[in-house]
Amino acid sequence: MACLYYAPPRTPSSLIHSMSKQPLRKIIGYHQDEHADWVAELSCGHAQHVRHNPPWLLRPWVISVEGRKDHLGRMMPCRKCGEEA
Ligand SMILES: [Zn+2]
């Protein structure tokens, strides 16, 4: 994992900075909420919407079975852990 905080070049540095406060957690599963939006279940016990982030964080992989399988076990920043810290 060389580039944990990848963001598009035009992302304001303030956004990258706030993102870096969110600890990385392992994705251990997925489910869909009542709106059929995908929610990743993280190793810390939190669940995080994958598609409710600002547009530059949209993760197209989550809508495909292969994409979800591919990301299982990978790390993603947990916003809730970041807020509690
Ligand atoms: Zn968490």
pLDDT tens digits for 73-84? 999 889 899 887
**Distance from the alpha carbon of residue 78 to the mean position of ligand 1, in angstroms:** 5
Let me know if residue 47 belongs to a domain.
yes
**9 belongs to a structural domain:** no
Most confidently modeled of 20-29, 37-46, 49-58? 37-46
Å from CA of 74 to ligand 1 middle: 14
Q: Is 77 helix (H, G, I), strand (E, B) or coil?
A: strand
Is 66 a domain residue?
yes
Domain membership of residue 12 (yes or no) is: no
Tell how far the Cα of 73 is from the centroid of ligand 1, in angstroms: 15
The CA 65 to ligand 1 mean position distance, Å, reads: 24
Per-residue pLDDT tens over the stretch 48-60: 888 655 554 557 7
Number of domains into which the chain is organized: 1
Q: How far is the CA of 63 from the centre of ligand 1 (A)?
A: 22
B/e letters for 20-40, b = 16+ CB within 10 Å, e = fewer, are eebbbbebeebeeeeeeebbb
Residue 18 is assigned to a structural domain of this protein: no
Q: Look at residue 8 and tell me if it is in a domain.
A: no
Q: What is the pTM of this model?
A: 0.65
Give the domain extent around 32.
24-84
What is the pLDDT confidence band of residue 11, given thresholds at 50, 70 and 90? low
Residue 11, in any domain of the structure: no
